[in-house]
Amino acid sequence: MDIYNLVRKGEEIATYIAMELHKVGAPVTLLYGSALHEYRNGTGNCVHPYFHEDDFDIGVFKEHFHYVVSLIDEIEERFSWKVDYIKQDLILSFAPPGQGPKTEESKGFQIDVYSFEADPRNGLVSFRWDKVRVASDAFFPLLKHKQVFASETHDSTIPFFYMPFNLPCYLANMYGEDYMTPKKGFKLGNNCLEGVHRGDRFNHPHCNTSLSVSQQCEFDRQMSFANKSYEGQSVADEIFHTRYAGIKKLKIKQTKKAARLPSC
């Protein structure tokens, strides 16, 4: 399959995930390079992955990650993409069957679903897979960004892709204040500040937050997810332990580990 059709298929899968989680009130947000590309170039009515990237990055609350795990069989049956990598409660990647490891020369594409943890006590949001922390006031409340493509719902509401609340400040902390300028070969770990832990992506710059009444209500709703237990978690745990926990040789093992933040 050519890269155009790979990206379009990936877009369908990301849309499906957003639509399914919408049914239970769980927001799906763009993250990392996908959020950056959308902020720079997203002038249309729909979110489209970047054809020059090799993945599409989305995120969900850790408490909602089990919903994505529960969709594995349906995604494999509907779209013929397989679980490329999974780390319990942290990350789940879907890719076409037979796609090789991610390299500089590869032309593949995949969907990466990350979990994040909100900690109202310290005002931080943690992405444990990448060992990154961002400020809650840059990230929450996640805001509805654009309606998902070809939405079909069972009620009067419309599913959306979400984005971090203060997106310019979030991107400045992640990629530097010149984030609007593309940099060839730039990696997240390149943006390091002296005396700052390499994974701490907050307060450089500080993000000022002022919420409207409706935004405060949405913030309160999203904070209610933190540390909440869901019945479906045990089912997701069972899927992980019976299917994936014993797999030692996954092609992502080298590539994903190499993709994590290097030392500053």
Instruction: Write the DSSP assignment of 134-145 as a string of letters.
Output: EEHHHH-S-EEE
- Strands 124-127 and 82-87: what pairing? unpaired
What pLDDT sits at residue 185?
72
Instruction: Write the DSSP assignment of 93-116 as a string of letters.
Output: EEE-TT-----SS----EEEEEEE
CA distance between the termini of the chain: 38
How far, in Å, CA of 199 to CA of 174, rounded? 9
How far, in Å, CA of 106 to CA of 56, rounded? 15
Ordered per-residue pLDDT tens for the chain, 264 residues = 688 889 999 999 999 999 999 999 999 999 999 999 999 998 888 888 887 788 999 999 999 999 999 999 999 999 999 998 899 999 999 999 888 766 656 678 999 999 999 988 899 999 999 999 999 999 999 999 999 865 555 555 789 999 999 999 999 999 999 999 988 777 776 667 666 777 888 888 999 889 999 999 999 999 999 988 898 899 999 999 888 876 544 444 444 444 455 444
What pLDDT sits at residue 251?
46
What pLDDT sits at residue 50?
80
How far, in Å, CA of 213 to CA of 220, rounded? 11
User: Partners of 132 in the beta sheet?
Assistant: 127
User: Partners of 161 in the beta sheet?
Assistant: 146
Lookup: tokens for 58? 């989305």
For the chain, domain boundaries: 3-259
What pLDDT sits at residue 249?
43
CA–CA distances in Å: residue 17 to residues 21, 250, 259? 6, 23, 24
Q: What share of the chain is helix, strand, coil (3-state, %, to 5)?
A: 35, 20, 45
What pLDDT sits at residue 98?
85
What pLDDT sits at residue 248?
46
What pLDDT sits at residue 186?
74
Residues 6+ apart with CB under 8 A from 26: 60, 61, 64, 67, 225
